[in-house]
Structure 1
Amino acid sequence: MPVMTTPVIGNDHQTRDLLGTVKNYLLTGQPEIKYQRKSSKAALSLLFLIDSSGSMIKDRQIAYIKGVIAQTIAQHQHKRLRYGAVALAQGDAQLVSHYTTDTTSFIERIAQLRSGGKTNLKAGLQLIQQMKTSDRTQLYIFTDGKINTGGSLQDAALYFKQHLRTLSATTVVNIESGFVKLGRAAELAKGIGATYLNL
């Protein structure tokens, strides 16, 4: 079973260095603004949006998703991370876990997740927006892309681009199974400008 790697993002941001700017001007005569790096102490948050609709039951995709998430957390257990999760089920979205560093409790909540009903991706994105995402939040969307309520895939992509652009990184993880594949997860990834991962 594959383990997702955590994308590397910068731990620093830049602030103007007034003293360095003046010193550079005196030495070179060039009015070039200098910057200094200031470390960010905010913890990186990994947020999982899990499609647990009825289509995830047929070939045990939901069980596979749970296993991938558990192994990913185990792989990064020594890193300073927070985890959160939202599920899509019964035509709506539900909060599985708000941000937490308690990985044992988080994995238990994921394990207890039940499947059923239709897939409403937009509802999940709306709930994620309420969780105060930032440029220290990385989102993983586990789905086959078969959106069948709450608007179309294009509607969900538009909402994402309007309200969730501050995320540091987004990855769409395709979990489509079966002989005939529609490729809608890849379409979603392209529509929101996300990284695409096929499991």
Structure 2
Amino acid sequence: MVRSHAGRRSRTHTERKRGRYVQARPANGDTTDIAFDATIRTAAPFQIRRAEQRQQVAFAIQHADLMKKVRVRRMANLVLFLVDASWSMAVAERMAATKGAILSLLTDAYQRRDRVGLIVFQKDRATLVLPPTNSVQLAQRALRDIPIGGKTPLSAGLQLAHDVLRREKLFHPDVMPLLLVLTDGAGNVSMGHLPPQEESNRVAELIAMEHIHSVVINMEHQAFDQGLAQTLAEHLNAACYSLTELKAENLYYTVRQEMNQANAKADDGR
């Protein structure tokens, strides 16, 4: 089952005992959500040859007959922006594009019931500027004054994103998260004793281990690109886009495309 749209109006397979029962498949030992109708249909052709078993029961069912329910339920998407707000050549364009994209996504989220969040990292810390929300008013207030300048604590931003997404998955187990990282990949502040780049790569690997669909947008100018954003994307197991002239609508459509890919991949995995 592949989604054509994102949000709760779309359907996805779920392993939880919630959602609409749409079909059945062999249980293979999992008896938590048995489909009794399908199990009876599977066992019915064998009743004559199970005459001995039917001396004890009216209808003979064996473990191989057991069928499990396949359920679908409506899902919510979460797009978490992780934005480098340290000094760079493209910082003004980056922030303008990010603000425009988030507001565009929020307008769409109001209809689809997706949610959007924003983390900014600069100087020596990362800040959750906008906790996950589908409120356009809250987003506008949070985006009005984003601090810019200072060093690049990339690993702190990745760690905060990891924590926020884990918390969201805990409270909303069926949420479909997408982490969108806008950076040149050049971290220069560590949280601990590791070199900044090594620490960032390790945190990125933790995010990848959580099977969080991520996208890196390389904000470095092509003439100065050292490939650090691509390296970060590899540790995140993520796609890396290079947008030299980033506009809000480009970022918006990139996010929508990646969300649809993440949803389709999740459905295939179920």
TM exceeds 0.5? yes
User: Residues 108 and 146 from structure 1, CA distance in 2 versus in 1: closer, same or farther, beyond 3 angstroms?
Assistant: same
2:70 corresponds to 1:45: no
Distance 2:207 2:40 in 1: 42
One of 175, 179, 194 as aligned partner of 1:139:
179
Shift of 1:136: 2.4
Query: What TM-score comes out, normalization by structure 1 length?
Result: 0.79
Instruction: Supply the RMSD in Å over aligned alpha carbons.
Output: 3.0
Deviations 1:47-98 (A, max 9, x none): 1111111126556322232223333333444111112111111121011011
Deviations 1:82-133 (A, max 9, x none): 1211111112101101121212321331242121111112111222233214
Secondary structure of 1:31's aligned partner: helix
One of 174, 181, 189 as aligned partner of 2:225:
181
Greater Cα offset, 174-183 or 184-193: 174-183
Distance 2:110 2:119 in 1: 21
- Residue type at the aligned position of 1:116: G
Structure with higher helix content: 2
Looking at CA atoms only, which structure, 1 or 2, has the larger radius of gyration? 2
Is contact 2:78-2:178 (8 Å) kept?
Answer: yes
| Unpaired runs of at least 5, structure 2 | 18-32, 47-62, 170-174, 244-270
State how many pairs are aligned: 194
Distance 2:189 2:119 in 1: 17
Distance 1:28 1:122 in 2: 61
- Residue type at the aligned position of 2:126: A
| Unpaired runs of at least 5, structure 1 | 1-5
Aligned counterpart, 2:12: 11
One of 199, 204, 207 as aligned partner of 1:160:
204
Aligned counterpart, 2:239: 195
Deviations 1:157-197 (A, max 9, x none): 32233356335421112222252322221211111101222
Secondary structure of 2:148's aligned partner: coil
Aligned counterpart, 1:74: 107
Distance 1:101 1:47 in 2: 12
